[in-house]
Structure 1
Amino acid sequence: MIPILSSRGTSAAGNVSALVVADAAEAPDREVSRRRNRKRKRARWKNPDTQRSTPWMDSLPMTEYESNEQRLHDEIVAFVEYVRPTRQETSVRELVLAKVEEVIRRCFSNCNITVFGSMAHELYLPEE
C-alpha cells in the first residue's frame, strides 16, 4: 500500500484529518471504474400526460384570447411570477450573504462589498 493523498485541516466540526491509501496494483481497475462512473447519466423519462413542460401555465385561466399578443403577455406575466424567488429563498440568500460579508470584513476591514449580477437583481432561478 502506498499513500496517495494526505490532508489535514479544520472544519466547523473541529480538526479533520484524511489519509487516502491505495494499492498500486488496483490503480488501473480504479481508473476504468472512474471513467465508467463519469459517464453522463440519462435523465428519467417523464410521461408528458402527467407532467406539464410549462408549469406556470397552470395559473392562467382557461379563456379564449382575442389576440395572440395578449396570450403571450399573460404567459410572460405567469412565468415571471413562477420564477420569482419566494420570501424564504430571499431570506436564506440574504442570510448567506450576511455571513460571507462578515467573514470578508474580518479579513479586510476597510473593504467595500457590492453584490452584483443575478443576486442583486433577483433574477436567479428558483430552487428545484
Structure 2
Amino acid sequence: MTQQFGDYQHEIYFNALGGVVPELPMAFAELEQRASQALAPSVWSYVAGGAGDEFTQRQNVTAFEQWGLVPRMFVGASKRDLSVDLFGLKLDSPLFMCPIGVIGLCGQDGHGDLATARAAAR
C-alpha cells in the first residue's frame, strides 16, 4: 500500500493526542527562531533580510494573507483525492517544489538545494 500525503497529517495529529509533539516546530515564530540558531550568521542575515530591501518578501506575505486552508474533514469529501489541475496539467498532489535560489546556502554542507530535492523525492 502506498502512503498518502494525508497520512503525515494524521500521524502528527494522533501522536499529539498521545502527548508526543512534533520534532519540528509547527509555528512560524519557533521555526524562524530555530533557523536563526542553526544557520551561520551571514546566511541567516541574508535569508531573514529578504535578500535585499524586503519589498518582495512583504508583497508575498500580503498576497498569502488572502488565502487559507480548509481541512478536508470540513468539505464533505467521501473519497480522498488530492489531485489538482494546474494549467491543464493534472498533478497527484497540490504540493510541488520550485527553484529557490538561496536554499543552496542553507544546508550545512552548502548544498541545501540537493537535500531539498532528495526530501521532495521521498
Could you state the TM-score of these two structures normalised by the residue count of structure 1?
A: 0.22
The structure in which a higher percent of residues are strand is 1
User: When the two structures are superposed, what TM-score results if normalisation uses the length of structure 2?
Assistant: 0.22
Rg larger for: 1
Of structures 1 and 2, the one with the larger relative CO (CA 8 A, separation 6+) is 1
